[in-house]
Structure 1
Amino acid sequence: MTNRVEYGGTGPDVLLLHGLGGQARDWDRFAAELTRAHRVVAIDLRGHGRSADGPWSWRAVLDDIELLGLDNPAVVGMSLGGMIAAHWAARHPECPGVISFDGHRAAATAPEHYAGLPRERVLADLARLRAAFDAQTATLTRPGADLLAQVADSFRQDDTVAVLAALRCPALLVLAGKALPQAAPFAELTAAHRRGLLRDLDAARAANPLLTVVEVDANHGMVFEQPVELASLAVEFLDTARK
């Protein structure tokens, strides 16, 4: 069963999707702003919060959303939730709009996605990055190790940048302008990742005029840092997208 949080509000439906390791209530401050113009619902993704466990795949989590019975919602996500929002719009071209807050491709991705760094260095740094991630998540009970491994597999199978390039509904990708402090030991890998991301997003925007990319002066946790400002950005985008 998928746990949902009804924030209320009147207007078109908007669904909020949290990031990996998060929960529906991560949106409390942001959602309070959005309810002025929308009916807002958030969920705990499978294996998170109060939702049931289950095998992870893009298809499985999209099926969970289908069962909510929402009326053609706009979908807003942070990090992993932003990736899911893009996949939802790929399944539903009639979606009124999707917003991804720094949900594009994982930090640990294919070597060709890191620009300007020798492949051997990329592979060595990725091994260190995965070891650090494993150490950080080893003590977690939810999401469990099996789900985390399945999410990592889904990242390797599908590049969300390619999904964004093929969308047929309005989409907004909000990029973090600052790196997380935890990324400092991987500064060169992070910089190469960003160069590759910006390169590929330029190509995605050229292929898809419905895709808008903006950058904000915040890090990956932007929804927690600037909930009011980002909610205002979201309302403006969704209002324009529905016209």
Structure 2
Amino acid sequence: MTADRIALAVHDHGGDGPPLLLLHGAGRTLADWAAVAPLLVARHRVLAVDLRGHGLSPDGPWRLPEVLGDLEEVLTAHGIPGALPVGHSFGGILAVVYALEHQDVTPGAVNLDGFGWGRPDQYVGLDPDYVAQHLAQVRELNAAGQGRKLPPDGVKDLLAEQRAISERLGIPYELLEAGIRRSARERDDGALELRPGREEALQMLEVIDSLDLFALFRRMTTPLLLGRARRQVPSVPGLDWFDPMMLAYAGGLARDLAALAEERPNVTVAPIDGTHAMLLENPRAVADAVLAFTS
């Protein structure tokens, strides 16, 4: 392990056929793929990783060259440098960036609902200044919630929250529990925290904000699958403006993705029945979309 290359935690799901590298979203872990990966192994060799600073992987500065180098090292070590990157949320963005940086060996990319918060003009019917104001509030809330420290019995309380989410959204509790247990760690001072740490998380948010996603999509010349959630994320208590904004964004995103697919024959857009939590809610729909694309 060096400052530039980190030996990531890897779950090798096995399987035969063209290899896939599964990438989770920001603040998540490879446990998110636990229900999807078994549906892919009949036709693919499947690896899932914890990105640096997440799950069981070591910490390190969150800069794109180093993060992409981590992934390259994983694929080289497993003898599958030409694996197709398949990512969810921020992992989907990383899949596209990785494919662009390794065009000589990477056959394409799969981005499952990795579109960030979009541009103000994508919020159909809303004033761009109004949208920008509230997006700034969202970013502040995101930043404030990073590097969450827990009391000694904090994991117990978090698991109770996850059980409530399981019952409300119909997500198997075991999937939610695995993610929490993989993300919680004891620090040197004895305190518990959820990974990634605050410094790494803020660096990651800066990376996300620095990227022009549709410009990246248009740079792709190899096949690109863009999976879009068909259902909105749940409401946020206390934010009355959140639901109308998300509805407006869904309209603008669907419009822009349709235009992109019309413009670029290498781009496939696949609506997937689920919210942003599609990997946990509807793993079959996710797997079907990936398998239809790779076939």
Q: Distance in 2 between matches of 1:22 and 1:229?
A: 20
Indicate conservation of the 8 Å contact 2:22/2:85, yes or no. Answer: yes
Cα distance change on mapping 1:113 and 1:156 into 2, 3 Å:
farther
| Residue-by-residue CA offset, 1:11-32 (whole Å, 9 max, x unaligned) | 1211000111111122111111
- How many Å apart are 1:63 and its aligned residue? 0.9
Are positions 1:90 and 2:100 aligned together? yes
Residue 129 (structure 1) aligned to one of 138, 143, 155: 138
- How many Å apart are 1:113 and its aligned residue? 4.1
Counterpart of 2:34 in 1: which secondary structure?
helix
Between the two proteins, the alignment pairs up a number of residues equal to 237
Q: Distance in 2 between matches of 1:177 and 1:169?
A: 25
Aligned to 1:119: 128
Which of structures 1 and 2 has the bigger CA Rg? Answer: 2
State the one-letter code of the partner of 2:45.
R
Q: Distance in 2 between matches of 1:153 and 1:83?
A: 14
Counterpart of 1:133 in 2: which secondary structure?
helix
TM-score (norm 1): 0.89
Aligned to 1:177: 230
After superposing the two structures, state which structure 1 stretch, 73-82 or 143-152, moved more.
143-152
| Residue-by-residue CA offset, 1:185-229 (whole Å, 9 max, x unaligned) | 312222332333234323422442100112122100011111123
Residue 84 (structure 2) aligned to one of 74, 96, 100: 74
| Residue-by-residue CA offset, 1:162-207 (whole Å, 9 max, x unaligned) | 2112201111111001111145731222233233323432342244
Alignment of 1:135-146 (within 5 A): 135-137=144-146, 139=148, 140-146=193-199
Are positions 1:212 and 2:221 aligned together? no
Are positions 1:153 and 2:206 aligned together? yes
Aligned to 1:187: 243
Superposed CA RMSD? 2.0
Q: Distance in 1 between matches of 2:64 and 2:200?
A: 12
Q: Which runs of 5+ in 2 are unaligned?
A: 1-6, 149-192
TM-score (norm 2): 0.74
- How many Å apart are 1:138 and its aligned residue? 5.1
Q: Distance in 2 between matches of 1:100 and 1:5?
A: 20
Q: Distance in 2 between matches of 1:198 and 1:77?
A: 19
Counterpart of 1:29 in 2: which secondary structure?
coil
Indicate conservation of the 8 Å contact 1:15/1:41, yes or no. Answer: yes
Aligned to 2:253: 197
Counterpart of 2:226 in 1: which secondary structure?
strand
Over the matched positions of the two proteins, sequence identity in percent amounts to 35
Indicate conservation of the 8 Å contact 1:20/1:81, yes or no. Answer: yes
Indicate conservation of the 8 Å contact 2:120/2:129, yes or no. Answer: no
